Amino acid sequence: MSGDALSHIGPGRVVALCGGVGGAKLALGLYRLLGEDLSVVVNTGDDFEHLGLAISPDVDTVLYTLSERADKERGWGREAESWNFLGALSELGGETWFQLGDKDLALHVLRSAALARGESLSDIVASFAQHFGIKAKILPMSDDPIRTVVETPEGNLPFQRYFVEGRCEEEVIGVRFDGVDTACVSKPVIAALKAPDLRAIVICPSNPFLSIDPILATPGMQHLIRSAKAPVVAVSPLIGGAAVKGPTAKIMTELKVPATVQAIAVHYRGLIDGLVIDQADAAQREDLELPCSVSHTLMTTEEDRVRLAGEVLDFANKLALEAEAAPPRGAAS
């Protein structure tokens, strides 16, 4: 780690809201700077039951990324993976559209057995994180099942059928989160957002519609975020009006929302105090009605992740200082 990166370390905890591959890149940068002072609240709307197993793709991506077990080429799953199970499954005519590697399978088997014994997803994930040597807290947004359903002109699709099997090709006309009405924010997430020494909440550059909205739709989550005495900063997942990977821009167009950083700011309006945008979008800076920081947001290397994480923390510190310096409402000028 460079000395420059070390200068971003300050007192206080940070909560990051995160989906899968895109969000985990920034989560890793934050982890390098913050260690155990980082809590990552992860989307579980992508979770599903497959072949009798409970699978939590975004949670596992964050576990693999922070413990340096993620496959860097594929962008998902574990590195040095083998596929004997999938091969045997195929031989027997089993469903292979969702690829399960042999090492990856171990998590799904253990998670399924523990859930069947009545353990909470939060406890199960905490145990995985501990075994992987991760010091940060990895927190499923809820211990209740919330399932993202993608609405298309041809009918509704469970999230993984849309995302993995259908390769995001169907037109999206709406997104809903089944089970959300009766779900609660998990206890560890409540504790993280109520920490007295919380110094920033970071919305990672995950897909706002598919990865962050399920987190924000969990009853009580937005109130907890707004009540926290820490600035909320989002990082745009769009660079130059395009997604780095995945269907974010495509979905925005299908939902008749322009694929711009301004639309990202509007999407998070009322929740965020500042937005980090890429240099490629700097011209839109004047159109944003909230504080904005312009940066190089493409995270190709680990250095990029740590640098961007440091800039995001600096931006949050700046917003906190400005809020402190601002006269209280109603004070005489």
Of 17-25, 132-140, 226-234, 282-290, the window that binds ligand GDP (rule: CB under 6 A) is: 17-25
310 near ligand GDP, judged by CB under 6 A: no
Of 145-153, 251-259, 280-288, 294-302, the window that binds ligand GDP (rule: CB under 6 A) is: 294-302
Question: Between 231 and 237, whose beta carbon lies closer to ligand GDP?
Answer: 237
Q: CB of residue 259 vs ligand GDP: minimum separation in angstroms? A: 10
Q: CB of residue 226 vs ligand GDP: minimum separation in angstroms? A: 23
Query: Which amino acid makes up residue 301?
Result: T
For the chain, where are the alpha helices, taking DSSP H only? Answer: 3-6, 21-34, 57-66, 84-91, 102-116, 121-131, 159-160, 187-193, 213-217, 221-227, 248-254, 261-267, 302-325
Measured distance CA(186)–CA(143) in Å, rounded: 6
The interface mask with ligand GDP, positions 219-238, x = CB under 6 A, is: ----------------xxx-
Question: Between 14 and 275, whose beta carbon lies closer to ligand GDP?
Answer: 275
Q: Determine the distance from the C-alpha atom of residue 122 to the mean position of all C-alpha atoms in its chain, rounded to a whole number.
A: 16
**How much of the chain is helix, strand and coil, in % rounded to 5?**
45, 20, 40
Do 305 and 296 form a contact (C-beta atoms < 8 A)? no
Q: Is 231 left (phi over 0), alpha (psi -120 to 50) or beta?
A: beta
Position among 42, 70, 121, 244 found at the interface with ligand GDP (CB under 6 A)? 244
Neighbours of 264 (CB within 10 A): 26
Q: Kindly state the tokens that stand for 306.
A: 């740590």
| Sign of the torsion formed by the C-alpha atoms of 185, 187, 189 and 190 | positive
Question: Between 89 and 257, whose beta carbon lies closer to ligand GDP?
Answer: 257
Position among 54, 183, 224, 243 found at the interface with ligand GDP (CB under 6 A)? 243
The interface mask with ligand GDP, positions 184-213, x = CB under 6 A, is: ---------------------xxx---x--
Question: Between 20 and 145, whose beta carbon lies closer to ligand GDP?
Answer: 20
Question: Between 245 and 269, whose beta carbon lies closer to ligand GDP?
Answer: 245
Angle between helices 84-91 and 102-116 (to 10 degrees): 80
Position among 138, 192, 233, 239 found at the interface with ligand GDP (CB under 6 A)? 239
Residues engaged in binding ligand GDP (CB under 6 A)? 19-23, 25, 58, 205-207, 211, 235-237, 239, 243-246, 248, 297-299
